[in-house]
Structure 1
Amino acid sequence: MSRLLRPVRVPVGVRSLLAALVVSLLITESAAAQRNPITSFTRVWGEWDVVPNTQWAPKSVDPSALPDRSIQIFKFQPVVPFRLNDDWTVLTRTIFRFISLPTADPIIGLSPAGGPALLGWDQRSQAGLSDISPTAFLVPDLGPDFTVGLGSSLVVPVGDGAIDSGKLSVGPALLAFFHRGPWVVGARMRNVWSVGGESDRDNVNRMVVRGLLRYQLNPDWYMISSPIISADWTQPDGKGWIVPIGGGVGRSFRLAGQRMQASVEAYYNVVKPQVLGEELLGDWSIRTQWQILFPN
């Protein structure tokens, strides 16, 4: 019996190898836990926003206009980080916008006096590819808790008519995020000015701020709020602002072994822009997001 209980002696070389393996696994696990969630993944990102109960034109233009139309915006936005060295990363985001926008064609006829007159409007939706916005941020390595980046953004109009800005625009861009434990808090912003484009289109001076407040409930589910606040500085008296509040819920999962995230959110437009003294945008926006994540 004593022989059966006698301890087994492990050679020194084997013990050293096992110790090195354990240390390596601990370091790898620690490094994975401390990965920067902003710059450590390439994201293939789709986003669909719907704004129901939108009015296509002011009553002064179309007295029969009603808040019964919808704006739909689908964004395809790959986010790709390029690591320059141990200290610096270039984070790129390119947004391709596909927009369905309510509009109308004039109906021209004869007035009772026999002259040409505007009889009404034939309402329809105009859809297609709108502005493309590439943005690049230079991001220093500040550790696992902070991400700060400074860069520039470009807006290239590729649509037709009302669905794009008609102007080539450029301006600075900034992002700042804090991430620790279950929390990610921060925002990215840009302001662009038109530098070319169609001469008969309005000049562009627009700021866009997209905030992010995310709390991971468990490994699968999270709460998220990512409102998009914008300001059209060309409008007088602050009438070009859009300020939504709200949020939603999302889930992280794997499909065929591929890591993904999906969320559904709702936002109430507390402040809406005015056109000829009227607010045309609907009160609510519904957003669906889908992300495919590839670790770098």
Structure 2
Amino acid sequence: MYGGLTEFIGGIQAGYNFQAGHLLFGVEGDFGGATFAHPTLPTPTLGSVSQNWIGTIAGRVGLVEDRWLVYGKFGGGWVQSNASLNFPGVTWQGSNTSSGWLAGVGIEYGFKSHWTIKLEYDQIFLGNWTSTTVPPIQLNRDVQMVKFGANYKFQSGLPDTIAPTKTGHSAKPEHSAHPSENEDLAKQSQNPIADLVSVPFQSNTNFNAGPFNRTQEVLNIQPVVPLRLNADWNLISRTIMPVISQPSPFFNSNTNGIGDITQEFFVSPTHPGPLIWGVGPVFTIPSATDPILGQGKVLLGPTAVALVTPGHWVIGVLANNQWSVGGNPLRPSVNQFLVQPFINYNMAHGWYLTSSPIMTANWLAAPGQQWTVPIGGGFGRLFKLGDQPVSASIQGFYNVVRPDGAPTWQLRAFLSLLFPEK
């Protein structure tokens, strides 16, 4: 194999662990969709192998110290691969599902009693795939993966001995039907940098997009994970993975897939004053499964958020700017700005009014084509599905300023799973 490409893989995992003293034994499996291909010849257009999905199952053994776990794992992996060769005298395509051995190492940290994050390196040894051409070509299918993940444990781990005292920013309300506690949880769910694990799903339906006035759909999956740096500072991780149905600019059709993934980190004080704030970096990786779904560039820049919570209100603003610092040299450079003011008014029985328009600017576009400015709002409610706290809302927006061909109307449906400390 000649080199390789680094691309995106995402999926789910489940497992079971048993701890004896400082030793941990467990078994886990995962399944993910892959979006990468690596060349088998110096020019990728002449030959490549692509992975479509990857599944693994492995046993692991580790050493536990306080909230940290260092582990190794060994097991098996299954990969569905496609391969193609196309050069003078040789044309061949193949597809199969193959298995091989898996080995990996990782480190895991329990940042709350029921939550951990982990960083892991795995390699699946699949062996070569020999084409049925003359002459035969050896195609390398081995896969190396660096994984970052978050896990929810159904049984609590160590007690939260370093948890902060309850404040307006980091309070962890217990499950209760008391109106004030419900409002505290609602305010936390509306605070982008609250000390609260949440998994929001934000569906943005954009109407009258492109030359054929089609509908664009963007579902943002954006888990928020707070990490304790020390008694005074938190680090909040916010990931945005878009699943997109994008109208074609040339044909009356849509392309579906995953877009470019954005990662934000905010450093925020655990004991803020009346003004709650956070600052940090934001970057975007070119993970789109089709060129039309992404910009093909690595983006980097600063991000910041500030808010206040007087009375029943949550009022604030989130902003960032990103510049292209790498990626496909054939794609246009990027210099883009995003600002999202948000205002929420919380009422009785979990209901709230909300407005959070997302305004963007493409600084490299022609004059008059740079800004998209929506206005609008809606309502929502905090409630429970069984024992699971959920916040859901719906908003409508009209783009009063927009580039040519941009959508005129947007409908946003929002659902967030909330995981307060028990």
TM category, shorter: 0.7 to 0.9
Residue of structure 2 in register with 1:213 after alignment: 343
Residue of structure 2 in register with 1:202 after alignment: 332
Once the two structures are superposed, residues 38-82 of structure 1 have per-residue CA deviations (whole angstroms, 9 ceiling, x without a partner) of 3231110001001112233xxxxxxxxx42x01110000001111
Instruction: Give me the whole-angstrom Cα distance separating, in 1, the residues matched to 2:255 and 2:360.
Output: 23
Instruction: Give me the whole-angstrom Cα distance separating, in 2, the residues matched to 1:250 and 1:293.
Output: 15
Residue of structure 2 in register with 1:90 after alignment: 235
More helix by percentage: 1
2:280 to 151, 166, 191: 151
Asked if residue 45 in structure 1 is aligned to residue 174 in structure 2, the reply is: no
Once the two structures are superposed, residues 96-123 of structure 1 have per-residue CA deviations (whole angstroms, 9 ceiling, x without a partner) of 0111111155xxxxxxxxxxxxxxxx42
Answer whether contact 1:104 1:125 (CA < 8 A) is retained.
no
Instruction: Give me the whole-angstrom Cα distance separating, in 2, the residues matched to 1:28 and 1:132.
Output: 33
Residue of structure 1 in register with 2:256 after alignment: 127
Give the TM-score taking structure 1 as reference length. Answer: 0.76
Once the two structures are superposed, residues 200-232 of structure 1 have per-residue CA deviations (whole angstroms, 9 ceiling, x without a partner) of 111010011111100002131000001000000
RCO comparison, higher one (Cα < 8 Å, 6+): 1
Give the superposition deviation at 1:133: 0.4
Answer whether contact 2:210 2:248 (CA < 8 A) is retained.
no
Answer whether contact 1:144 1:179 (CA < 8 A) is retained.
no
Instruction: Give me the whole-angstrom Cα distance separating, in 1, the residues matched to 2:263 and 2:201.
Output: 15
Residue of structure 1 in register with 2:84 after alignment: none
Once the two structures are superposed, residues 235-266 of structure 1 have per-residue CA deviations (whole angstroms, 9 ceiling, x without a partner) of 13242111001000101100111111100100
Task: Give, as a single letter, the amino acid of the residue that structure 2 aligns with 1:143.
Answer: P
- Against the structure 1 CA distance between its residues 260 and 144, is the aligned structure 2 distance closer, same or farther, given a 3 Å change threshold? farther
Asked if residue 226 in structure 1 is aligned to residue 356 in structure 2, the reply is: yes
Residue of structure 2 in register with 1:291 after alignment: 416
Give the superposition deviation at 1:171: 0.3
The 4+ residue runs of structure 1 with deviation greater than 2 A are 27-38, 141-146
Residue of structure 2 in register with 1:266 after alignment: 396
Q: Secondary structure at the match of 2:300?
A: strand
Instruction: Give me the whole-angstrom Cα distance separating, in 1, the residues matched to 2:231 and 2:361.
Output: 37
After TM superposition, list the pairs within 5 Å mapping 1:45-124 onto structure 2: 45-56=200-211, 66-67=212-213, 69-103=214-248, 122-124=251-253
- Against the structure 1 CA distance between its residues 70 and 170, is the aligned structure 2 distance closer, same or farther, given a 3 Å change threshold? same
Residue of structure 2 in register with 1:136 after alignment: 265
Give the superposition deviation at 1:166: 0.5
Choose 1 or 2 for highest CA Rg: 1
Instruction: Give me the whole-angstrom Cα distance separating, in 2, the residues matched to 1:252 and 1:227.
Output: 20
Residue of structure 1 in register with 2:160 after alignment: none
Residue of structure 1 in register with 2:124 after alignment: none
Answer whether contact 2:210 2:249 (CA < 8 A) is retained.
no
Q: Secondary structure at the match of 2:367?
A: helix
Q: Secondary structure at the match of 1:219?
A: helix
Residues 79-88 or 166-175, more deviating: 79-88
- Against the structure 1 CA distance between its residues 87 and 240, is the aligned structure 2 distance closer, same or farther, given a 3 Å change threshold? same
Q: Secondary structure at the match of 1:171?
A: strand
Task: Give, as a single letter, the amino acid of the residue that structure 1 aligns with 2:282.
Answer: S
Instruction: Give me the whole-angstrom Cα distance separating, in 1, the residues matched to 2:321 and 2:300.
Output: 8
Q: Secondary structure at the match of 1:50?
A: strand
Q: Secondary structure at the match of 1:239?
A: coil
Give the TM-score taking structure 2 as reference length. Answer: 0.54
Instruction: Give me the whole-angstrom Cα distance separating, in 2, the residues matched to 1:143 and 1:29.
Output: 8
Instruction: Give me the whole-angstrom Cα distance separating, in 2, the residues matched to 1:130 and 1:143.
Output: 35
Answer whether contact 1:91 1:137 (CA < 8 A) is retained.
yes
Give the superposition deviation at 1:282: 2.4
Residue of structure 1 in register with 2:291 after alignment: 161
Once the two structures are superposed, residues 155-194 of structure 1 have per-residue CA deviations (whole angstroms, 9 ceiling, x without a partner) of 0111121110110010001010111221000011110000
Answer whether contact 1:152 1:171 (CA < 8 A) is retained.
yes
Instruction: Give me the whole-angstrom Cα distance separating, in 1, the residues matched to 2:298 and 2:313.
Output: 37
Give the superposition deviation at 1:85: 2.3
Residue of structure 2 in register with 1:176 after alignment: 306
